[in-house]
Structure 1
Amino acid sequence: MTDITTDITTDTATPTATTTSLDTSAWGGRHVHDPTAVRDDDGVYWLFSTDARSDGPVRGGVQVRRSADLVTWDFHGWALPGVPAPAADWSGAEGLWAPEVVQVATAGGPVWRMYYSASTFGSRRSAIGLAEAPHPAGPWTDRGIVVASEHVEPPAGLGHPNAIDANVVTEPDGSQWLVYGSFFSGIHVLPLDAATGLVADGFAPAAGELHAAPGRLLARRARAADGAVEGAFVLPRPGGGWALLVSYDSLGGSYHLRVSAGDAVAGPYRDRRGLLLTDVDADPWSVGVPVLSGHRLADGPGVLAPGHASVLSERVPAAVPEAGTHARQLLVHHVRDADAPTEHRLQLRRLVWTHDAWPLVAPQPWAGPGREVDDVSRWPADPAVLDGLWEQLTPGTDPTRVQDGVVGPLEARTAVRALGGGRFAWTAPDGAAVSAVVHPAWDAVRDRATLCLESLDDAGRVTLATRLP
């Protein structure tokens, strides 16, 4: 399939080069960066991602793909014909970054909203814009800039956060928040007007201006780490509260994912040990729970710099119709090829929750219908499943390298408890309390059904493991 932008857009924008000459027929999940996925009312999945390519010039407008199974993706085109003029004029962007797509209920019926970012690499002169459509396939109409930022650093304070990497959070009462920011002054949150999709009164910029109050600080990193935190995504925790997922470190190498938890969308957020995500005095590589980093499973490809994740949450039919539906959450993110770091592509992984409501992600990529088991009543309940050999990863131990899987038994365990739905708890040899989830999965390297384990102890140490034959 070649460029079919004219089939899915009706809007005016600043066009960029190479808008009609790209052969996208073999793209599939290649060239995906900073992805987000949604499902339409007909059960079709739509993926939106940054305007980025590993082998040529950028074409602007937000890349769009579609899939029936979340495994095989067809390139659909671009959401917009280029960078909308207000965002281009402000930022000088040639492409759009990190789109966030959500469906909202309005007085006129459901509407899809896309929050896109316009900037240039290393710049703080950036903007988050809004476009709307009746369907993920479009047509998308630009609604202008939501919030913008620029280079100027005030004499005191954090300054305005970089206006990119939008994430929209909707509370049970319908109120909405915009979580955003990248490097520089960290991650912030602003209230949105759910009716318009723009910043709420009291925080919105004055007429004729682009800037709004920066909002509340959620996460920041020390200068020793170059302030490297971005790509925030907030999701509700089972039983109440919220989890904040962020990407740390260098985009092309040590990029990796960490989580924290808080009682409110607007924070504060703390990691498993209680450290605030705004703590710039602690070791900047000790804050946050590392849940995924670069790795290589035995005889498999090296996965470099996994990050900038979103989460697809949905209810899926049970294998037995009378059992109703099951909740399923998938981490949607990009990775690079460890042997060719400029190559970036899409991956999805199952996201699970420990019994004490911490999110962890599977070491194996999502394999699709027929290979994955969503019915948690079929997940292991016998502690004996923890025995045997596992190929194990410890994300975040050293994000600067691609970690090799280590084969061996799980650590010694005492006081093991089975808590249902694949959840277990035990005490580690050093006395740490461990929470774990074990579930069916598909071993992508060995091409066979297997089990995966994700565990977290109260010192913040994570283990991801694949059961071996």
Structure 2
Amino acid sequence: MANERSEPTLLAVRPAHLMATLLALVLHAPCTSGLEGDIRIHDPSTIIRCKGRYYVFGTGRGIPILVSDDLFTWRRAGRVFERIPESVRSYVPKNDGYTVWAPDVICINGLYYLYYSVSAWGQYVSAVGLVTNPTLDPNDPNYLWTDRGMVVHSTEGQELNAIDPGVIQSPDGRLWLCYGSYHGNVELVELDPKTGLRIAPDSPVYVIANRSEAAKIIFHDGEYYLFVNHGSCCQGTNSTYNIRVGRSPKITGPYLDRFGQDLARGAGTLFIASSGTQIGPGHLGPLVIDDGVERFSCHYEGDLERPGRSFLDTKPLIWTVDGWPMPGQDIRKGTYQIRSYRAGTVLQVDPNATRGSRPNTARYLVRDHQEWIISQTAGGLYRIVLAATGLALEADGPGARLADPQDDDRQVWGIDQLTDGTYRIVSKANGLALTASATDESTRPVVLQPFARLAQQRWIITAP
């Protein structure tokens, strides 16, 4: 595998108490996909939203499509086309006319641009094509994929294999496409946002990576981050795929890793690799949920506990204080303490609390009434139950209380990891966030308020 080296821990730059939380959750949590339904996919595109639903496209005959109503449960939704448009397939005579690799998608001014690659196994005459659609909803009368032709291609003898397109629109409105594989370079060209095609046949080409593939650029806090795959794919649980990253103040590079080494020379800081039963992460796609919550999608080549083909997964995307990305971790079923980021005190109830008692925060004393059992429910949401009594945390107007467990949205909570590694806890019933006291009076009851990224609305969730 290219450019293996010892990597520094990204956690070293975080506050000590948050570092312990992230170590506990990321390194010791069960590593299985938290998604449900039909999540079989290889080389997934960026997940994109249309009319309240989420869509992702993958490698396969005619570009297979998965769709979800909640980002958690997925189902198959047909394919983009039956045969590859001849305007693109003609550049790749050895392709079978059906099989498409590694698409990516973006929405520009209400039009969905879907880029895809056409190749054949073991050869490097390849092409990237484009189709567009005003909607991704197949029930919409305007649903129609339109062929826009070839965007870039590679020929025999080039240091290039034009596959794995990754598209990005930079903050200045310019559109860019990166593409390439282990056979040669990963290149970047500028596109015309009005057509989705290259701005000119002889426009500048920038080499941004080498000995890698599945390139994707994202923009964060004034910097561009290039994610690429190293290792081998397509061998199930024997695959060695892993995702590396470098950054640059300019979209055209150079992209340097944490050691200052150039990705154009095969470098790259490790972002995520095989862990637990999940083997071979690849093809990262960014997913911004809302302010403060970012996720990323990828596929895994295989799972040691679930024999079969590759599958989709999503995870939180968090950022170190010195501006490097790292994978977060969704909460898994277990017993936790829920600690206020602002005060360091933990969510609890009084020792003799019963039904109707209101939780507050206090210094942690290793008591059952300070520990909570968190379990996942439908749609990737959670129930939170006091370990001491089995009573459920329930939203009650602008506050919270304990109640007998029942099938009630007031007892269902969204728990999202924020980009700094802390968590927000939001009621499904009213959309309000669990909020600790803003004063030093630790025994005041917690309340529910609109989420505003306040310190008292951020929680550290870790094993007791």
TM-score interval, normalised by the smaller of the two chains? 0.5 to 0.7
Tell me if the contact between 1:34 and 1:97 (Cα under 8 Å) persists in the aligned partners.
Answer: no
- Counterpart selection for 1:330 from 280, 295, 301: 295
1:248 and 1:466 map into 2 onto residues whose CA distance is 32
In the alignment, which of 315, 324, 341 is matched to residue 358 of structure 1? 324
Whether contact under 8 Å (1:189, 1:216) holds in the other structure is yes
Residues 266-306 of structure 1: CA distance to partner in whole angstroms, max 9, x if unpaired? Answer: 101111121111235xxxxxx3221211111xxxxx10101
CA separation of 1:75 and 1:379: change in aligned 2, threshold 3 A: farther
Cα distance in 2 for partners of 1:332, 1:365 equals 17
Alignment TM-score, normalising by the size of structure 1: 0.61
- Report Cα offsets for 1:379-413 as digits up to 9, x if no partner: 8346799x9xxxxxxxxxxxxxxxxxxxxxxxxxx
Q: 2:39 aligns with which of 29, 45, 56?
A: 29
Matched with 1:63 is: 64
Question: One-letter code of the match for 1:274?
Answer: G
CA-atom RMSD in angstroms: 3.1
Aligned partner of residue 121 in structure 1, secondary structure: coil
SS where residue 88 of structure 2 aligns?
A: helix
Query: Is 1:290 paired with 2:270?
Result: yes
Task: Tell me the amino acid that sits aligned with residue 270 of structure 1.
Answer: L
Q: Check whether the contact 2:127–2:151 (CA below 8 A) recurs between aligned residues.
A: yes
Aligned pairs (5 A) from 1:163-178: 163-178=162-177
Structure 1 pair 264/379, CA: closer, same or farther in 2 (3 Å)? farther
Structure of larger gyration radius: 2
Q: Does 1:233 align with 2:237?
A: no
The verdict on how the C-alpha distance between 1:122 and 1:379 changes in structure 2, with shifts beyond 3 A counting, is farther
For the residue of structure 1 that corresponds to 2:47, the secondary structure is strand
Using the alignment, how far apart are the partners of 2:288 and 2:91 within structure 1?
A: 34
Q: Please say if residues 37 and 73 of structure 2, whose CA atoms lie closer than 8 Å, have aligned partners that are also in contact.
A: no
Distance 1:165 1:274, change over 3 A: same
8 Å contact 2:418–2:424 — kept in the other structure? no
- Identify unmatched segments of 5+ residues in structure 1: 1-25, 52-59, 154-158, 205-212, 221-226, 281-286, 297-301, 316-325, 368-377, 388-420, 424-435, 442-464
CA contact (8 A) 1:33 1:346 kept: no
Cα distance per residue 1:328-363 (max 9 Å; x no partner): 322111011235665211100111122222111124
| Secondary structure at the counterpart of residue 39 of structure 1 | strand
Alpha-carbon separation, structure 2, partners of 1:345 and 1:69: 17
How many aligned residue pairs are there?
311
Corresponding residue number in structure 2 for 1:114: 114
Question: What is aligned with 1:284?
Answer: none
Q: Choose 351-360 or 267-276, whichever is displaced more.
A: 351-360
**Which residue number in structure 2 is paired with residue 95 of structure 1?**
99
What is the SS of the residue equivalent to 1:36? coil
**Does the CA contact (< 8 Å) of 1:309 and 1:332 recur in 2?**
yes
Q: Distance in 1 between matches of 2:263 and 2:278?
A: 26
Report 1:66-465 matches (<5 A): 66-91=67-92, 92-93=94-95, 94-105=98-109, 110-137=110-137, 138-153=143-158, 159=159, 161-201=160-200, 203=202, 215-220=205-210, 227=211, 229-238=212-221, 240-251=222-233, 252=235, 253-279=239-265, 287-296=267-276, 302-315=277-290, 326-335=291-300, 336-338=302-304, 342-364=308-330, 380-381=341-342, 437-439=421-423
Residue identity over aligned pairs, in percent, reads 29
Shift in alpha-carbon separation, 1:384–1:124, aligned structure 2, 3 A? farther
TM-score (norm 2): 0.61
What SS does the corresponding residue of 2:288 show, helix, strand or coil? strand
Whether 1:468 aligns to 2:463 is: yes
